[in-house]
Structure 1
């Protein structure tokens, strides 16, 4: 059911979208503090067969794993559909494209996944965060990694080539 666009509903939608973007940045950078800012302490996470339980331990382990293993990972946020239910609950469907590089049997593989997050957001003390997340996986493509940086156009050793890193070493954490 659609709500009229009042200032309150527009602000709610913006706060929810900001939270979703914080999640993508937090997981890709391995930033535990940023990830935890997206979920309520009592939130629940269902991430396929990989995890089903309280969100906080999952997020802490994910941030730790991202920093320790330093895998290449990027989450791209697509369509976001928000259904507000009163002033304090929203049902949210978010399309997510994920690129990740993982090693298996000594070889790097690139994996592309199309998924959706079905979230119940709750507003508590004026702040919107995820109270429950269910991941839905739509498609996946795995292939051996063949990184050549645009067929050699980009020299990864050049002083001007800035490579992505995990928190707090990534360029996004510096302010110039």
Structure 2
């Protein structure tokens, strides 16, 4: 059990380094074949997610992930890992340079295949976020009606993405509510050797 938890935590730790540093071949190795990634802007196969990250990185987009602790529940060759994460990005919003910072968790479906623990699916949970002007003397003239229409746990992040031409998803799990409860239920099903039943 201890070895399994250590192997899972290593994948979680490595993911953020590989993702933020642009180590795309290594990042792809975090998933098993057929693995999926869900974010606020993407829902689909891991290889496509990695390729889109590569494209954004090459155009100058930078995203930073900082991890906290990881809690892992194991059942045979399957596991659910939850890791605290802070996601930050520097973006232009209405001609003002801003930092958007979100706090939440990675909710990860893991499986051991041929003795190797890798991701089968990753779904962030969005708990809260904020937006700050880099130069405190300026602040973007935001559409507050649009901002309020987004989920509270990630509304500033979605607003920033929308302003920069990134499609956004809004049916996202937050700290509370039916969507995150559906995610937890899917995790329970996964641990009981059932199908992956979220998105």
Give the TM-score normalised by structure 1: 0.72
1:128 alignment partner in structure 2: 117
1:16-38: CA deviation from partner (whole Å, max 9, x where unpaired): 11101111001111221121011
C-alpha distance in 1 between matches for 2:61 and 2:122: 25
Distance, in Å, in 1 between the alignment partners of 2:2 and 2:54 is 31
Q: Which has the larger radius of gyration?
A: 1
1:76-91 aligned within 5 A: 76-86=66-76, 88-91=77-80
Match of 2:90 among 101, 104, 111: 101
Return the structure number with greater relative CO, CA threshold 8 A, min gap 6. Answer: 1
SS in 2 for 1:69: coil
1:68 aligned to 2:59?
yes
- Separation of aligned partners in 1, 2:39 and 2:15: 14
1:152 is matched with: none
Residue 104 (structure 2) pairs with residue 112 (structure 1)? no
TM-superposed CA distance for 1:70, in Å, is: 4.3
Instruction: Kindly state the Cα deviation for residue 146 of structure 1 after the two structures are TM-superposed.
Output: 3.2
Q: Which residue of 1 aligns with 2:30?
A: 38
Residue correspondences, number: 136
1:24 aligns with 2:16: yes
Offset at residue 55 of structure 1 (A): 1.7
Distance 2:55 2:9 in 1: 25
- 2:132 and 2:119 map into 1 onto residues whose CA distance is 33
CA distance in 1, matches of 2:104, 2:95: 27
Alignment TM-score, normalising by the size of structure 2: 0.64
Q: Distance in 2 between matches of 1:103 and 1:40?
A: 35
CA contact 1:30–1:64 (8 Å) conserved in 2: no
Query: Contact 1:41–1:56 at 8 Å: present in 2 too?
Result: no
**SS across alignment from 2:59:** helix
Structure 1 unaligned residues grouped into runs of 5+ = 1-8, 148-176
Which ranges of structure 2 fall in alignment gaps of 5 or more residues?
A: 137-199
| 1:50-70 CA distance string (max 9 Å, x none) | 111112101221133123214
